Structure 1
Amino acid sequence: MPLTPATDEDIAEVSRQLGREARDIVAIAARCICGKPTVVHTAPRLADGTPFPTTYYLTHRGATSAVSTLEASGMMAELQQRLADEPELAAAYQAAHEAFIADRDKTAHELGLEVPEIAGISAGGMPTRVKCLHALIGHALAAGPGVNPIGDIALEACSWSPNKCACESY
């Protein structure tokens, strides 16, 4: 999916969504059907020097709430078991891990950053664990269907959808 530059209006909306000042946003990686930011693409090193491996950060309040409910339901354990039982799913998840790192490395290169502390590390537990559905769905929304299979599965099970605006509810 194409990234779009973050406008001042986007940064203000993300700050409202997060309840704090947004920081180090490189672009908007996914948007609600109404156009508001849903996932931000964050620099791999924050302005204060902190390495930030979670390139795609889910910010939409409706999405984060629904994903928290999924996590509380035990879905991560179910997906973890599927990785153990389904070699094709595990291989696709490995590929998602590699795609994530390639995206982050490209951004680091474009920004002239070196972030050796997070080399080989992606997010959400990839490539062998299911640790954070927020990160995995964020990646799935940013990359588009078929890139992160665990994120795709979780998004499909989610009560929130980027195709139906719920922004005014939050």
Structure 2
Amino acid sequence: MTPAPGNTPAPTISDADRAAVTAQLGRAPRSVREVAHRCECGLPTVVATSPRLEDGTPFPTLFYLTCPRLASRLGTLEADGRMREMTDRLADDPELAAAYLRAHEAYLAERDAIEPLGTDVSAGGMPTRVKCLHVHAGHALARGRGVNPFGDEALDEVGEWWKAGPCVCVNDEG
């Protein structure tokens, strides 16, 4: 099957990075364009993906979190009800809501610059609710502090997830 337009992996992802992401996810990654963030140990933490999977299916999650240790800590925050609390704050804090709307707009602009999906749906519930802390943390790591307020908050709450060392071991010998 021919890949959808704009769906070719970027040459910036190495075989070693692909192997690391495969080990992190427990499966081969899909539609990876590049490593968007690395943790302190040098492994990928977030990959940037194409807006469509290889078969042409829309895949609106531009920044995909790969570190299982960070994903687990974010999952704990989600289970503790943080997404609901964050969503509730949007109604009470116009500055926060405006910052979250800007995060949504930046996300859409970046994704659409790669390949427009013809939708204003971004990811993670933006801009009206908080649906997935993994998406927001991935966005914040990939694009830096101040871009996604809930990504920044979630990362602040989980702390230094990398301190225990690499999340996976990758055999360089294949």
After TM superposition, the score normalised by the length of structure 2 is 0.86
Q: Which residue of 2 aligns with 1:123?
A: 123
* Matches of 1:168 and 1:152, distance apart in 2: 21
Q: Which residue of 2 aligns with 1:57?
A: 64
**Structure 2, gaps ≥5 residues long:** 1-9, 170-174
Q: Tell me if structure 1 keeps the 8 A contact 2:36–2:47.
A: yes
Query: How far 1:161 sits from its partner (Å)?
Result: 3.7
1:138 aligns with 2:142: no
1:29 aligns with 2:36: yes
Q: Which residue of 2 aligns with 1:167?
A: 166
**Percent pairwise identity:** 54
- Are the structure 2 counterparts of residues 43 and 84 from structure 1 closer, same or farther at C-alpha, using a change threshold of 3 Å? same
Q: Tell me if structure 1 keeps the 8 A contact 2:84–2:130.
A: yes
Q: Tell me if structure 2 keeps the 8 A contact 1:62–1:160.
A: no
Structure 1 segments (4+ residues) deviating >2 Å = 159-162
1:41 aligns with 2:40: no
Question: Per-residue displacement from partner, 1:110-132 (whole Å, max 9, x unpaired)?
Answer: xxxx532xx21111100010000
| SS of aligned partner of 2:60 | coil
Query: How far 1:52 sits from its partner (Å)?
Result: 0.3
Question: Per-residue displacement from partner, 1:89-144 (whole Å, max 9, x unpaired)?
Answer: 00000000000011111222xxxxx532xx21111100010000011111111110
**Structure 1, gaps ≥5 residues long:** 109-113
- Are the structure 2 counterparts of residues 63 and 168 from structure 1 closer, same or farther at C-alpha, using a change threshold of 3 Å? closer
- Are the structure 2 counterparts of residues 67 and 15 from structure 1 closer, same or farther at C-alpha, using a change threshold of 3 Å? same
Count residues in correspondence.
160
* Matches of 1:95 and 1:86, distance apart in 2: 14
* Matches of 2:47 and 2:62, distance apart in 1: 8
Equivalences for residues 6-25 of structure 1 within 5 A: 6-25=13-32
Q: Which residue of 1 aligns with 2:6?
A: none
- The Cα RMSD (Å) is 1.9
| Higher helix fraction (1 or 2) | 1
